Amino acid sequence: MRLGIRARHAVRLMMGIGRLSRDRRPVSLGEVSHYCGVSRRYLDRLVVSLKRARLLQGRSGRAGGYLLIRPPAQITIGEIVEAAAGPVTVSECVHHPELCLQSDVCQCRAVWTLIDHRIAELLNQYSLADLLERWPGGAHHLMQEPKHV
């Protein structure tokens, strides 16, 4: 199982806005695109989901752009991933048992459910602020306990 590109780019987008808007200035998607290396057209599609999930707010006008609705320490990586791509799951039957003819008797379903819960727990253990503070130090710094959330 792996996180799809939509989820990964959503985290990059949120990190870009978090980093570039530290003075609470709205950030244009052009700036974010340049900062995180994701096309502006792709970011245009991602912000819709993130706004709907109440993670971003948009401001129109000449000095418009996007801002985080809450401080980075109050936004979990799990929220971002779920807003962009839906729940992370190792098997569709966990969230949609009606898709599997054997879901009522499946001996593996309990394990898949436990794995899903642990993944969600881990993603929700880290905040956007945790990533911003550790960037560009590398993923090995994430092995430390999170400071926020």
Mean confidence (pLDDT) of the chain: 85
| Helices 5-20 and 29-36: angle between axes, nearest 10 degrees | 110
% residues pLDDT > 70 (the chain): 89
Q: Are 67 and 21 in contact (CB under 8 A)?
A: yes
- The topology under which CATH files domain 5-87+128-143 is Arc Repressor Mutant, subunit A (1.10.10)
pLDDT in tens, 119-134: 999 999 999 999 998 7
pLDDT of residue 148: 54
Distance of CA 27 to the CA centre of its chain: 18
Q: Which residues contact 116 (CB under 8 A, 6 or more apart)?
A: 87, 88, 89, 90, 94, 95
pLDDT in tens, 5-17: 999 999 999 999 9
pLDDT of residue 129: 94
pLDDT of residue 100: 75
pLDDT in tens, 40-78: 999 999 999 999 999 999 998 888 899 999 999 999 999
The pTM assigned to this predicted structure is 0.81
